[in-house]
Structure 1
Amino acid sequence: MPTPLSSEEIDRLARKRAGAKLGWYIHATVYVLVNLLIFSMSQYAFGTRPWSLGPLLGWGVGLVLHGISVFVLGRGSSLRERMVQRERERIERSQSGR
């Protein structure tokens, strides 16, 4: 069982997680604003060629991966914690079997 965190460690971890989430929200906002601009330029300034879909999809993949790293695999997520716990148990079993 992991050792309990001190008040300072909890505060540091909470700030780090909040910063990661805020970073994703900023990333998503910039993504939407820039891609709205690119899309409007492609439609009104440069004709109707769908060239704006390339940046939209490419950057969208990056945004999704960023979200996964923050919300799914980030430190403290239930998936990550379960995986860490399983690895600890495996290591302890291998250590006790020696």
Structure 2
Amino acid sequence: MEVNQFDSEKYEKAKKRVKELKGFYSHLASYVVVIPVLIFINLFFSPMHIWFYWPMLGWGVGLLFHALGVFNMFPFLGKEWEQNKINEILEKDNSKWE
């Protein structure tokens, strides 16, 4: 029975990871499609007033933080920190009941 539970946990973790990756790649794909459209619109309709770099920069920063989170590149608040915090909270809750 434990083997199935362990396999089930591994499957759920893998499924969650795939969902995170899919979300990031969808975010990246929409950025790659929309930003050139915004550049075209800006340069075609108002070439004297360049504004496309604002959404490109803002969305790019959001995309960067999304990548850092998905690929666990945060030196703080990463997956290990999250697991340690969960364990810490569980230990505190257990000590309250003892």
Same fold (TM over 0.5): yes
Matched residue pairs, number?
A: 83
Pairing 1:1-98 to 2, within 5 Å after superposition: 6-73=6-73, 80-81=79-80
Q: TM-score, structure 1 length as denominator?
A: 0.69
Identity of aligned residues (%): 29
CA distance in 1, matches of 2:25, 2:33: 12
Q: Letter of the aligned partner of 1:52 in structure 2?
A: F
Runs of 4+ in structure 1 displaced over 3 angstroms? none
Q: TM-score, structure 2 length as denominator?
A: 0.69
Q: Which structure 2 segments of 5+ residues have no match? A: 92-98
Kept in 2, the 8 Å contact 1:42–1:48? The answer is no
CA RMSD of aligned residues (A): 2.7
CA distance in 2, matches of 1:45, 1:67: 33
Partner SS state of residue 44, structure 2: helix
